[in-house]
Structure 1
Amino acid sequence: MRCSKISRKTSETSIELSLNLDEPGRGKIDSGNAFLDHMLDLFQVHGGFRLDLTCKGDVEVDMHHSMEDIAIVLGQALVECLGDKKGIERYGFYFVPMDEALSRVCIDFSNRIGFVWNVKLPAAMAGGIEASMFEHFFKSLAENARMNLHVELFYGSDNHHCLESIFKAFARAVAMAVAPGRNKNAVPSSKGVL
């Protein structure tokens, strides 16, 4: 069973997160912001994972510290769940349309950090969060999951739809990458290690 439980406590946030890649379920999510809760719920539902999250953060300032620390812990949980990555597909990619919006997410659980954010959101805010924070969220997630993560938004006129498309595409790309690979007994690398 590929699962992880991680706690993180700083002067800005207190986080409890558990992730299970192999038992789908609707975990409880309380990030401190209803819109981010919705996006993280999309991740678990469309990825076929179970995510339980509680974050008590300094939301009276803004969502910056909470989003950054949630991304850090989620990335660490992915690393812990995947271990040496033996038997996984490793690569994942997905296109998701959401009404007028279309995005694509490509990932590689390579143990190397690469991040591309080719996204121009149409409005400055989404669900009470500065739109620029979503780039920071995914960058922090990529760094802590030690993955290549390329996120592209081709078009869209509504921030909610654009971000929903991105989170769903991310979920499906992760699901593809962590699925059983063609060689179940080997690390998916010519080096023999990731």
Structure 2
Amino acid sequence: ICAIDLSGRSCLGFDVAIPTQKVGDFDTELVEEFMLGFCRAAECTLHFKQLAGTNSHHIIEAMFKALGRALKQAVAIDPTCPDAIPSTKGSL
């Protein structure tokens, strides 16, 4: 599961267990480092929670796909309220 808040504050919640240290030549510990860097640069709060999975490649792939979908939803304009800002605080 991935949740994102474009809050202007960077924070990462990372409840994911990647079982291997490498996928091919890629160090899997870099996934958390990338997500932390993303949060800092985007000034967003990002939470990941792993529900299942044992294959490191598939876990990482699912994380990036979930991030893309969450980000798309977070910035989407609601067609029923096209002039509304998609935020409970009234700003992005």
Residue 8 of structure 2 aligns with an amino acid whose one-letter code is N
Bigger relative contact order, structure 1 or 2 (CA pairs below 8 A, ≥6 apart): 2
Mapping of residues 38-77 of structure 1, within 5 Å: none
Confirm or deny: 8 A CA contact 2:74 2:86 kept in the other structure. no
Mapping of residues 104-183 of structure 1, within 5 Å: 104-181=1-78, 182-183=80-81
With over 3 angstroms needed to count, the CA separation of the structure-2 counterparts of 1:189 and 1:170, relative to structure 1, is closer
Higher strand share: 1
User: Runs of 5+ in structure 1 lacking a partner?
Assistant: 1-103
Residue deviations 1:82-110 (CA, integer Å, cap 9, x gap): xxxxxxxxxxxxxxxxxxxxxx1111112
Shift of 1:134: 0.3
Number of aligned residues: 91
User: Runs of 5+ in structure 2 lacking a partner?
Assistant: none
Shift of 1:124: 0.7
Residue identity over aligned pairs, in percent, reads 33
Residue 46 of structure 2 aligns with an amino acid whose one-letter code is L
Please name the residue that 2:86 is paired with: 188
Shift of 1:189: 4.0
- Distance (whole Å) between structure 1 residues aligned to residue 37 and residue 88 of structure 2: 28
Shift of 1:193: 3.2
- Distance (whole Å) between structure 2 residues aligned to residue 155 and residue 189 of structure 1: 30
